[in-house]
Structure 1
């Protein structure tokens, strides 16, 4: 198999004397969609913060796009091609939709069909309609669309979505799942956190389940679908 786009070995992280992640080993290959699963408080957000440089690894190694990043700053990791759709969206209240999408735009040679402003508006027509509105004027669903489009505007090698559909109305969740399916078809490498396991199964190539900061299980969606006991044991589903 080819060299992973993201490779973690022996990864440990935490906050001060409180250790949260314990010896994580996993890979993400280019073009894969990987679901990160687990109950609240099991280390999913801590792992994401560590991957994007918001929290420094205490031990272990992370390699991304061929570079060691376990000691790298967040801006350097972003320039290598990691983009995050953060929990809570974190749209800027005083920037317009259009300003969000042009302020962070980047073109990478690896992008076969770059995400231009026009393509982002085609993906989310509602954003085109609201192009002149400020981030603080948008509904929660519109802000989530904007957060995804903002991340895509960087033409990322790896797209990370933390709580992709949290707090959204069912019709907006369906729109987010449609978007993720389209991105998968286009070969976008994605790491996604969400509690709707049944919606993730058709999207994810592989799944990682965290339990108290350790990888309790990892495997394909077909394997996870066939082992529904895992849902009850680790996910509370």
Structure 2
């Protein structure tokens, strides 16, 4: 028996002013799935994310989350429904300590019996425990990214969205983020991830969605994407 998707988009159109960016995007994400959103720069990935989290009102189409219509809903309302984002650029608060970041947003929006508590977050990222009293602007880029992931997890989201999860990070820190995402997948965390490291995403994601000029150019499984390297060159410049 197939369950209704956790997130469903149909005919999604969006843009900025006179410029239209998305032209009828369709996709679903099932609970427990990891889906990668791929495409070269400027193809509509960030606009898709911004529309999903309520930062940009759709011009047309339908977005449903958890069976509810969230078309045009405010970002705070969507967040309370259980959508959390690790934003591009991390956006840590310079005047909050690491621990204050993790306590300020703590919630259990997924209704988990064994949710993400402060001790569990420190276990996931021991470096953050070492830096617990440091301000957000006293952290390295890698530490800020760990904090951004932990901050999103502190809400115990039903859907975790990562926008350019490992951009600009040193290889050792990227590996730490990939390790974390692998653990989250094992625990059944529903995730939508945008990243350029396709070879890592093939090992992590269940399905992939490639955008080309604001349209879905291809969708399929990791096995299918791995088997057709022509797609990598044609749509991703890899």
After TM superposition, the score normalised by the length of structure 1 is: 0.99
2:234 matched residue in structure 1: 233
Q: Report the 3-state secondary structure (helix = DSSP H, G, I; strand = E; otherwise coil) of the residue aligned with 2:23.
A: strand
User: Which residues in structure 2 correspond to 1:157-168 (within 5 Å)?
Assistant: 157-168=158-169
User: Which residues in structure 2 correspond to 1:109-148 (within 5 Å)?
Assistant: 110-148=111-149
Shift of residue 137 of structure 1?
0.2
Shift of residue 112 of structure 1?
3.7
1:32 matched residue in structure 2: 33
Name the CA shift for 1:109/1:69 in 2 (closer, same or farther; >3 Å). Answer: closer
Residue 80, structure 1, aligned to residue 81, structure 2:
yes
Paired residues in the alignment total 237
The one-character-per-residue Cα deviations of 1:155-178 (angstroms, maximum 9, x if unpaired) are: 000000000100000000000000
Name the CA shift for 1:109/1:150 in 2 (closer, same or farther; >3 Å). Answer: closer
The one-character-per-residue Cα deviations of 1:1-24 (angstroms, maximum 9, x if unpaired) are: 110000000000000111000001
2:52 matched residue in structure 1: 51
1:19 matched residue in structure 2: 20
Shift of residue 109 of structure 1?
5.3
Q: Report the 3-state secondary structure (helix = DSSP H, G, I; strand = E; otherwise coil) of the residue aligned with 1:20.
A: strand
Q: Report the 3-state secondary structure (helix = DSSP H, G, I; strand = E; otherwise coil) of the residue aligned with 2:76.
A: helix
- Are the counterparts in 1 of residues 13 and 24 from structure 2 also a CA contact under 8 Å? yes
User: Using the alignment, how far apart are the partners of 2:112 and 2:213 within structure 1?
Assistant: 37
- Are the counterparts in 1 of residues 82 and 110 from structure 2 also a CA contact under 8 Å? no
Shift of residue 110 of structure 1?
3.0
- Are the counterparts in 1 of residues 85 and 161 from structure 2 also a CA contact under 8 Å? yes
- Are the counterparts in 1 of residues 110 and 156 from structure 2 also a CA contact under 8 Å? no
Q: Which moved more, 1:108-117 or 1:210-219?
A: 108-117
The one-character-per-residue Cα deviations of 1:54-76 (angstroms, maximum 9, x if unpaired) are: 00000000001111111100000
User: Using the alignment, how far apart are the partners of 2:109 and 2:163 within structure 1?
Assistant: 23
CA RMSD, 1 decimal: 0.7
After TM superposition, the score normalised by the length of structure 2 is: 0.99
2:91 matched residue in structure 1: 90
Q: Report the 3-state secondary structure (helix = DSSP H, G, I; strand = E; otherwise coil) of the residue aligned with 1:201.
A: helix
Q: Report the 3-state secondary structure (helix = DSSP H, G, I; strand = E; otherwise coil) of the residue aligned with 2:73.
A: coil
The one-character-per-residue Cα deviations of 1:4-53 (angstroms, maximum 9, x if unpaired) are: 00000000000011100000110000000000000000000000000000
2:181 matched residue in structure 1: 180
- 5+ residue gaps, structure 2: none
1:209 matched residue in structure 2: 210
1:68 matched residue in structure 2: 69
